[in-house]
Each structure stands twice: as C-alpha cells, then as structure tokens.
Chains A and B, each alone.
Chain A
Amino acid sequence: MEKILKIVAVLMVITVHMCPGTSAQDAFSSVRLSGTGHKQISNTDFARSWSPESGFGLEISTPYYKGSLEAGARIFRFDAFEFENSGFWSRYVFAGWFYRYAASDQVFLVPGIRGGINFMLHDEDKVYGGEYNFKRDESEFAYELLLRLEYDITPAWGFYTSVSFHRTMLNIPIDTLYGSIGVTARIESPEWLKRVLK
C-alpha cells in the first residue's frame, strides 16, 4: 500500500509540474455529479474482524484554475465477525483535488487526494465492567489517495473506475484499499453557483 501511495504522490508531483497551459481553464464552469459504488479489496488486520458490505456514494466536482475540486460522501457498512454488536456504519465526508490527464479526447487518467472525516456509528455502545462505555458514535480524520480511469461517452455523460487507498487516523489506523465504479453527469454551472464558489 505504501508503494501505491508513493506512486500516487509522485504522480501528484508530476501533475503540478507538467501541466502547462491547462490551468487556463475556466474555473467553476461546469459541475460533474457522480454516483458511485465501492468495494473493499484489501485484506488487512482490520478486515479479519470486520467484513465490509458494498458501499455507495455521491461526488460532486468542478474545474478549478488548475485541476478540479471535489466534495463528496461515501457510506459503507462493516459487519462484525468477532465482536458482538461491533458492526458499524462508516460515513466518509470529504473534499479533495484531482487532475485529469487526457490520454485521448475521451479517456482520462486521474490522480487525486482527499481529506475528510470518517463518521462511524456502531450498532451498540461498547460497555466495559458493566458501567464504563464508549459512545456509539466516533469520528476521525481520514485521507485518501486515488487513481481513476475515466471514460467520457459524451460531453455530458461518462463513467469511471478507480482504486483508492484510504487511511482513517484512529489510534490503530484503519488502512483500506477500495475499488470503485462511478457514473458521471456533467452540466454547465449556473451563474449563482459560480459566484458562490469563487
């Protein structure tokens, strides 16, 4: 995973270095909305105690002066293997930045980075000694590095597939590798939205 992270980090460097002229783009000119589906594809210590169901999410992005800005949310259910009532819902709310390399008019390779909060809600409180309990809800900062392959079917529609490395910075961090697919719709930004975003 560290290797993947480093590769993405290097790609980020290249992105900032090697994009002359591209950033003259019209910032906030359009909005891309994506509906996404996710599956955990790594087998970590954590995955031995909690089994993830498939997750889904929503992403919204817009061109920035360089690259694109995005915000989104993803919901994931983790069922308990080992510990009773320890199943939980993970709701990751994030903001991020990515850059679209054009491999052709329709195909794009997209490295990106996200930061956000992973809100976790357990089925039950964990109670120790009959009276000391942890609360059901827990939240922590989480970052994510992603690589995405996008295909624009038309200027208004496209789909993508991606792999992302996710780390929630708990005391014992949760590292996860996700595979995702998404369907994207693109619309021109209304003037009011441009004003709000600028």
Chain B
Amino acid sequence: MAKTGAKMIKTLFTAIVIALFFRIDSALAFQKHDGIKTAKNDSTEAGFILRSQDLFWQTGYHPVSLDRMSFMLDSHIYGRYGPSPDFYVDGIPFDPSIFGMTFTQLIPVPVHQLKQSSRLSERGSGVRGGKPYDSGIIELYSEPLKKGISFSAAGQIGHNSGEPGPLAFDPDRVTPNVERFGPWIDGTAAVRLGDWYAKGVLRTHSYVHVDEFLQNRIINLRILPDTGELLGTEAKTTLGLAETGFDNGRLEIRLQGIKSESEEFLYFQPVAREVPTAIENQQISGMVNAAFGSGFGIRSLVQYRDRSLGYRLHRFSHNFDWRRESLMARSSAYFNSEKTTIELGAELEDIRLKADGLSGYTDQFRKGFVQLKQSFARGLMIESEGRVTEGAGNYAYSGSAGISLDLTDKWNIGLRGHYNELLPEQARPLDEWVRSGYTIFDQLDIQGLYASDGEKSRSRELSLNQQIKFTDKLIVESEIGWIENLRLHIPFQYAAYNFPFSTEPGTYLLQQNEGGRRITGNVKVQYQRSPRLRQAVALYVNRVENGDRLHNFYWQSTPELSLQHSVNYKPFRDLGIQVKTQYVSERVWPEFERIDGRSNRSFYVQYPFRLFTFENDLPAHLNIDVTVSKWFWDQRFRGVILLKNLLNSDYQTHPLGIREGFGYLLRLEMRL
C-alpha cells in the first residue's frame, strides 16, 4: 500500500514538475505584477527556511540529528565530534552548540525572519570580514527592519504521517502514534526611527519525543523507578532577545542581550544516548563598527556569555552540573584600496568554568589574525590569511594562501593551501576538563581512557577551484581538495546494547594521534532562467583515501556522495513553490555495530506487533520535499505548507535517531 502511494505521489509530482518546466515561458508571458515588497526575504534568491535543517542546505554541512532540532555538524577538518562551527546573526556571534550538539531553537531570530545563503557559510578555517574561524562559520541574516513600528509573528507545527486513525480499534492492525512537532511560536516587535532602532524577540519551541524509534529510550529515562511516575517527554525552549542600535552607514553601534531556558534531551556522545538536561544561556554583546573615509575602518566587539547545564529530573542522578562564563573582546582594522585589502585584528577570550570536580578552572586565549588580498595584474590576485592562538603558554599557528586567476572574462581558477593547528582546549574541551578533574564521566558510569595528551590537532589541505560564468544566469563552480589530518583527536567507543535505554556506554577512548587523507570536492550549478525561477544543484564528495583505522571509521558516517537540487519558482506575485530533492549515499557508524540487528520496540503495550531493529549502517536515500507558500493582504500574512519526504521512505541520519517518513509542516506568518 505504501509503495502504491509512493508511486501515485511520484507520478503526480513528476507530471507537475514536467508541466512547470516546459511551460514556464508561457506562464510568465502574460503576467503583469508589482515588484516584491519584502524582496530579500521573498525573492527566489533567498533559500526558504522552514525547518532547522534548511539552515544547512547546500552549505556542505551534513547535519546529523536524533530529534530534528539539535544537530551534529561536520566541520570538514575535525568531523562531527570536533568543535562546532561559529554562528553569527547580523554580524554578532552566538553559540547554539553545547557539548557538540547545535540546538537550532537557540538561534535568537525567528526562523521566518531568517535569510540563509550557501555563500554565507564556510566549512574549514579562515578569516572572513574580521571573523576568524577554525571549524567553519555560518552567517545568518534577518529581515531588514521597517521604518516606524513593526510587528511580526509566526506559528508553526509539524506532523509525521502514519497515525493509527480508526484502525487503532483493530487489534490486528493497531499502529503507534507518531510525532507531532511543535508548536513553535515566534514574535518580534521593533521600532526604527531614522538611524536608530530597537527590537525584541520572543520564541517558544516545544515538541514531544514520541517517534517510535526514540520512544522506548526517552520514556524510560523519564520514569521514576521508586514511584513509577512517568514524567513528561516534552522538550521546550523559551528565548528572549532585546537589542538596540544606531547605524548611519559610517558608524554602527549595537547592544544586544539574549536569555534562554530549555528543558532538553542532550545527546552526549561519550554516553551514546541522551541525558535529560536543563540548559540556560545568557549573552550580552556590544558591537561598534566605524568607517573612516572610503577605505579604512575598525570593527570591535565585546561579548559576555554565561551558559549552564543543570539537572532535569529523570530516572538517574546524571547531572552535568556545569557552568561556563566567558568574556570575549575582539577588534580589527581594515584598509581597502583599489588593489589591496588588508585586515589586522586581535581577540581575547577569558573563560571561567565551574563544574563538579573543577574549582578555579580558567582558560585564556589570545588570538591574532590577518587577512590580505592583493591584485597584481588584471585578473591575478593572491589571497592569504593567518591566525595565531595562544593558550596557557602554547601556540597554535594556522593560515592559508592562494592564488586566483581569471583565465578569461568568464572563467576563474584558484589554488589554495591551508595549514591548521588547534589547541586541545579548543579541539576537545570536554576531555581537557575531565583531565583537570571534571567528574562527569564517573557520574555517568563511563569507563575508559579519557586523559588527553595535551597535544595540538594538526591538518593541511590543498584545494583547486574554478568558477565559470557562462552567462549572468548560469554559473558553474567546482572545487576539489586533498585534506590530510596529521594529528586528529577522535573520541570513540563501541556503544553496547541495552534494551530499555537502547545503548549503554562502551569503553570510551580519546584516540590521540589519528591521521589520514581524504579527497573532498563539490560541484555547484546555479541557473536562473528568469527572476521568478531559479535552480541550484550541488554535488558533494567526501572520500577517504588512506589513514589509520579509527580515522577511516570516523569518516564513514559522512556520506561519500550527496546531491542536493532545489527549484524556487514564483509563478505569481503572491505564490511561491520550492522543490528540494536530496540524494545521500550510504553511511556507516562503526561505533554502533554492537547494537546492529538488536531489537527496539515501542513503549506502550498497545503495539504488541511492532518490533524495530537497530542498524548501524544507514542506507542511501532519496528525499523530495515540496513547499508552497501564499501571501495575503499585500504580503502582511503568509501561509506555508511543506510536504516532506514525498516518497514516504524512512530516512535516518543517526542510528539512534528518528526515522522520518512523509509528513507535513504548516506555518502562518504575520508582518505588520
């Protein structure tokens, strides 16, 4: 039945796509519509962000999620157990990542106001616009504020298909309930008077872990054994932001405060499953950018963060009991002339950590960075950047240099080499804390060899790229790189099987000196047939050439091949259609091979006939999502529906994570 349904949907989908593609010109010929008012957010240029994973679309990141809200991100150099990428919204950094998991609900801007572009994200390392980064950067931008007073709100809810319906009454065909996702409710209020503005954001997100693949584990974690009381399995986050600023084009001053509280299930890699956790974040930022003359300016930022992980009542006494305060100051000066761009900056970060077993723990990092672009002749340019970080008397040196050459007016090629070092306190902070006395591994009954050797992580890379601009509407880019991890710290364990909790931690090992070489590459094609129709396709390759055993294991969870194709079509002024197609090749998670083939089942006794099987290899997958949006009342309101996974085949990104089939997601937006 499911196959027939998939066939039907496929037929209909194919027919519609064929129709759209072959009759676009005639469809457009008669249209006489006004320009798009909220051009940046609603044009085909901007990717439509509806779900968390949309943030990473065609960026090269392969997000892995157990719950669709928190992600492990592969930062290219250090893999998905390495440091998370740096996030920025409107130029101000924030950190939605805790112990390796990135919680997208902690992004301090409502999703309906976010703009994402693959060009705003980078993997790897470098310096961009006064922002040094060691393990990737993701920059997000929000909609520009309207003059005067403005409000916006959005509500969103999602649902996986496959509920039992009336068939729950048939004991032979009873099936589990499946996940409801949300609601998410976001609101903003803003005032802009001349060059001054102020704004506030309030977000609340919640969802219930009732996906059949997580249910057993999550519910068992939330049962109190003494009383048999079943605590709620909801995860929820409330976030508030207040910001004011001034920007006259030459001087930009911004002050921002963010506070959030969450009750979550934090996937903790060393324990190989989630730990119910209370998360609190506070952040205060001040930013001043000033431009003097046409080519000289300074950028400066001061930021205080206070983050903590506390106890959320559950079956065990597992408690991170962790609080990290940090103060960061960064400043840089830049100079632009016709042929030369140079930026020189420095950063200081002071960290204080309080946790069980740690007292008076501090880290202090001093960083200097430089970025240089120099044109020598028409079409010939060298680009280079360098970063040096000092911490506890140790130094890490990183940098890259490259040459870019215009072979013709339309064809550019480039060659670039990278060398990267990362201090252990930045590459594997958790292991450094444990080495210094943090008792979390003892608390969670994790056995193993977790003492860090205190050595730096090192890597080097050579990459070739090219860009061919056949026309303004057709651009082809490609890149191939050889990356070698000279010394990579990989946390690893063979997770053991445990029926009520899916897994129990195996012997944890921080492998200190893993090395190996990979070939990575991508090809991107952008084709804009008209202002109303844009297509983009991106192919990513990640192939291990050789290396140590654990190094080779580690990269098997990153797909060797992935292909992402998107079509953004606006047939009419008030209607938008987006089709996203993704192919991901098989992925293997060797650390879960001891649970491969073991049984998992739904928790409730209603479903006696449903048993599931854990697998540590995730099969190749083809996924098609369609989004349709309609504006109302001169773009004041918008309704959006996403139909995801039209082929209705199970899609998993993590062996313990949810399996997504067909489902829908609805969003209503208001802008006044």
Contacts and interface: CB of A to CB of B under 8 A. Distances in A.
A132 B605 contact: yes
Contact of A83 (B11, B170, B572): B170
A134 B177 contact: yes
Contact of A16 (B1, B20, B662): B20
A141 B19 contact: no
Counting chain A CB atoms within 10 Å of each CB, the highest count among B159, B164, B166 belongs to: B166
B377 interface: no
A97 to B, nearest CB: 10
Given A12-B16, A198-B574, A170 B163 contact: yes
B8 A171 contact: no
A6 B9 CA distance: 10
Contacts of A168: 165
B159 A12 contact: no
Interface stretch (B22-30, B246-254, B285-293, B532-540): B22-30
B170 A171 contact: no
A167 B5 contact: yes
Given A126-B169, A141-B161, A17 B19 contact: yes
A132 B606 contact: yes
A171 B165 contact: yes
Contacts of B163: 138-140, 170-171
**Is the contact region of chain A dominated by helix, strand, or loop, or is it mixed?**
mixed
A71 to B, nearest CB: 10
Contacts of B169: 80, 82-83, 85-86, 126
A61 B11 CA distance: 26
A15 B4 CA distance: 25
Contacts of A82: 169-170
B16 A138 contact: no
Interface residue tally of chain A, by bracket? 35 or more
Contact of B170 (A23, A49, A65, A173): A49
A132 B219 CA distance: 15
Interface in B335-385: none
Nearest to A84: B169
A16 B19 contact: yes
A195 B634 contact: yes
B5 A173 contact: yes
A185 to B, nearest CB: 23
Given A12-B19, A66-B571, A138 B164 contact: yes
A9 B12 contact: yes
Contacts of B641: 115
A89 to B, nearest CB: 11
A78 interface: yes
Contacts of B168: 126, 134, 138
Given A16-B19, A20-B26, A198 B634 contact: yes
Contact of A172 (B12, B173, B572, B664): B173
A67 to B, nearest CB: 11
A50 B161 CA distance: 21
A169 B161 contact: yes
Interface in A81-124: 82-83, 85-86, 88, 113, 115, 120, 122
Contacts of A132: 604-606
A138 B633 contact: no
Interface string A1-42: 010011001101101110011011001000000000000000
A149 B160 CA distance: 35
Nearest to B165: A170
Nearest to B159: A141
A170 B633 contact: no
A86 B20 CA distance: 43
Interface in A141-198: 141, 145, 167-174, 195-198
Given A65-B572, A141-B664, A198-B632, 13 more contacts: A6-B11, A10-B15, A17-B22, A23-B30, A85-B169, A134-B606, A140-B165, A141-B662, A172-B165, A172-B175, A195-B633, A197-B633, A198-B631
List of 4 A-B pairs having minimum Cβ-Cβ separation, nearest first: A16-B19, A171-B175, A83-B169, A86-B169
